[in-house]
Amino acid sequence: MIDKIIEVINRCHHFLITSHVRLDGDALGSELALGLLLKELGKDATVYNEDPTPENYLFLPGASQITHTLGEIGGYEAAFVLDCSELDRVGREASRIQAVRTIVNIDHHLSNDGFCEIRLIDPQASSTGELIWRLLEAIRLRPTPEMATCLYTAILTDTGSFHYGNTTAGALVAASKLVACGAHPQWISQQIYENEPVEKMRLMARVLSSLSLEKGGKVACLTVMLKDLEETGAYHHHTEGLVDLGRRIRGVAISILFSQVEPATYKVSLRSKDEIDVEQVARTLGGGGHRNAAACRLQGDIEAVKRQVLETIDMYRVVS
């Protein structure tokens, strides 16, 4: 399938690149690296995201050139949809993007069932960034330091700084080669993890105060309500990574973050340790993801949503 993607790159000149709402390091690093790759090949590439770029990723090369308004799309010959298991994940412009003549999907989510003909999907890959690295290798183009910085960021963040279960030999080899191409691990880590706004720290304190332990201490539940965002001055993207707080607790096998996005709508983020599969839980509830990291959206009041998730965990007996 990489050959077909290379054929699209060779044939076309004007490209649109996009990813999912609620941006993370893998989405941003992958699309910016691909944009830099296309421009290196003399192509025209526009990176569009519905949501603004989180502050701790503004250091990424090309981040300042991302557009958040999608104009006329008739001039695009191909659109790359990255890190999305379904096209709707790009947000409200999904139907317009679908009208682009050629759609290419590059993704590593287990729940991806292939929404377009040309696609590179590998659930065994650590990140979409690792798949973009494979594309670079197939083209035989050495990454510039800027590309290397973006792709290293993608792999670093989606592997949880190389301590999640998706930290494979392939991920480490790719990261090593990206360092050799100019990525600086210490500097990148400082930009991402040691550059948080005070509003996120205040939100983190709220989240920790909401902690409850279920299933004999094996499931940690954390909650972010809209009033928490308002009272701390934080934004929705500041919730990224907060679900991992519960996973740090001794004895916890699954950590769940319930983030209120509308008065009766919650994003449910699930993280697990070892071989515990939370993707099947999220998929049953209308979402998806990976074995150790998945998410879904549910309607209802917070207690009803929690009960629904915990009952689904019981149904699959993922913790005993």
Instruction: Say how far apart CA 67 and CA 82 lie, in whole Å.
Output: 16
CB within 8 Å of 260: residues ≥ 6 apart? 223, 224, 225, 226, 266, 302
Cβ atoms within 10 Å of 70's Cβ, excluding its own = 19
Confidence of residue 111 (pLDDT cuts 50, 70, 90): confident
CA separation (Å) from 172 to 48, 127, 213?
Answer: 29, 12, 34
The pTM of this model reads 0.90
Domain spans in the chain, listed from the N-terminal domain onward:
2-193, 198-316
Phi, psi of 298 (to 5 degrees): -130, 150
* pLDDT value at residue 163: 87
Pick the CATH number of 198-316 from 3.40.50.720, 3.10.310.30, 3.40.50.2000, 3.30.70.1140: 3.10.310.30
Q: Which residue has the tokens 């290419």?
A: 104
Report pLDDT digits (tens) over 24-81.
999 999 999 999 999 999 999 999 999 999 999 999 999 999 999 999 999 999 999 9
Q: What are the backbone dihedrals phi and psi of residue 42, each rounded to the nearest 5 degrees, phi first?
A: 85, 20
CATH class of the structural domain 2-193: alpha beta
Is there a shared CATH topology between the 2-193 domain and the 198-316 domain? no
